[in-house]
Amino acid sequence: MYTEIQLVRVMVGYALARADSQRARARQGRTELGASALEWAIISAILVTAALLIGGIVKGVIDRRSKDIEQG
């Protein structure tokens, strides 16, 4: 679980840093990059959600298998 939290923090941190960078460029007059920042934020949110779902599924399988092993 701790590793999943670290992964989420890294992914969210990257998404926020990327969005901030794109917003700064958009403020300089390159407005087409503002749309790009929004696209990156959406893509990052989808990836974070997918990673959490996959991590949850893998954790569930491992927990079930370890319980089966403990029971014999």
User: Whose CA is closest to 18, among 35, 43, 39, 40?
Assistant: 40
Q: What is the pLDDT of residues 8-34, one digit of tens each?
A: 778 788 888 887 877 777 777 765 655
Residue 43 scores a pLDDT above 80: yes
Structure tokens at 21: 């960078």
CA angle 57-59-10, nearest 5°? 90
Q: Can you give the pLDDT at residue 7?
A: 74
Mean pLDDT, range 35-53, rounded to an integer: 85
User: What does pTM read for this prediction?
Assistant: 0.51
Q: Can you give the pLDDT at residue 61?
A: 93
Q: Quick one: what percent of the chain has pLDDT higher than 70? A: 89
